[in-house]
Structure 1
Amino acid sequence: MTDSSSAGLSPRRYQLTHWQAERLAASYADLRADPRYAAATRFFLEDLYGPYDFSKRDREGERIVATMHKMLPASAVRPLERALQLNRLTRSLDDALEQMLFVEMGVEQIDLTSYCEAYRRCDNLAARIEQIEEVDVLGRELDRVVRKPLVQLALRMARGPAHLAGLGELQDFLERGFAAFLAMGHAAPFLEQIKRRELIYLDRINARDPDPFRVIED
Structure 2
Amino acid sequence: MSPSASAADRIRTHLDRVQQLRLQARAAGMDAAVTEVKQLQAQRFRATYADLIRDPRCAAATRFFLDELYGVRDFAQRDAQFGRIAGALERLFPDAVAQLAVDLAETHALTEVLDHELARHWLAHDAGTPPAVRYTLSWRLANDRPARDRQLAVVQHMGVELQQLTRKKTLRMGLRMMRNPARAAGLEALQHFLESGFDAFASLGDARQFLDTIRERESGWISTLFDAPLEDASEALASELARASRAD
**TM-score interval (norm. to shorter):** 0.7 to 0.9
Find the aligned partners of 1:110 and 1:190 in 2 and give their Cα distance. Answer: 32
Partner of 1:156 in structure 2? Answer: 176
Indicate the RMSD between aligned Cα atoms, in angstroms.
Answer: 2.0
Out of 121, 126, 144, the residue aligned to residue 164 of structure 2 is 144
Question: Whole-Å Cα distance in 1 between the matches of residues 197 and 223 of structure 2?
Answer: 29
Q: 2:81 aligns to what?
A: 60
Change (3 A) 1:184 1:109: farther
| Alignment partner, residue 35 of structure 1 | 56
Cα deviation, residue 69, structure 1: 3.7
In the alignment, the residues of structure 1 paired with residue 72 and residue 141 of structure 2 have an alpha-carbon distance, to the nearest angstrom, of: 23
TM-score (norm 1): 0.87
Q: What is the aligned counterpart of 1:166 among 152, 170, 186? A: 186
**Residue 4 of structure 1 corresponds to which residue in structure 2?**
none
Looking at structure 2, the residues matched to 110 and 87 of structure 1 have their Cα atoms a distance apart, in angstroms, of 28
Partners of 2:89 and 2:97 within 8 A in 1: no
Identity %: 35
Summarize the Cα distance change of 1:53–1:108 in structure 2 as closer, same or farther, 3 Å threshold: farther
Alpha-carbon distance in structure 2 between the residues aligned to 1:62 and 1:97? 26
The residue matched to 2:74 in structure 1 has which SS? coil
SS in 1 for 2:100: helix
Separation of aligned partners in 2, 1:159 and 1:108:
48
Question: Partners of 1:155 and 1:77 in 2: how far apart?
Answer: 14
Distance (whole Å) between structure 2 residues aligned to residue 109 and residue 76 of structure 1: 44
Q: TM-score, normalised by structure 2?
A: 0.77
Residue pairs, 1:52-201, within 5 angstroms: 52-102=73-123, 104-107=124-127, 111-201=131-221
1:15 and 1:110 in contact (8 A); partners too:
no
| Post-superposition offset of 1:78 | 2.6
User: Is residue 50 from structure 1 mapped to residue 37 from structure 2 by the alignment?
Assistant: no
Q: Within 1, Cα distance between the matches of 2:62 and 2:87?
A: 29
**Number of aligned positions between the proteins:** 207
Which 10-residue stretch deviates more, 52-61 or 69-78?
69-78
**Which ranges of structure 1 fall in alignment gaps of 5 or more residues?**
1-7
Q: Is the Cα–Cα contact under 8 Å of residues 33 and 122 in structure 2 kept in the other structure?
A: no
1:83–1:138 contact (8 Å) kept in structure 2: yes
Give the Å deviation of 1:60.
Answer: 2.1
In structure 2, the gaps of 5 or more residues are 1-25, 241-248
Aligned mate of 2:38, from 17, 29, 33: 17
For 2:47, the aligned partner's letter is A
**CA distance 1:36–1:78, change in 2 (3 Å):** same
What's the offset of the Cα at 1:66? 1.4
Q: Which has the higher helix share?
A: 2
Whichever residue aligns with residue 190 of structure 1, its letter is F
Indicate how the Cα distance of structure 1 residues 151 and 16 shifts in structure 2: closer, same or farther if over 3 A, else same. Answer: same
Deviations 1:97-155 (A, max 9, x none): 011101x2243676111101100110111101111111101111101111211111121
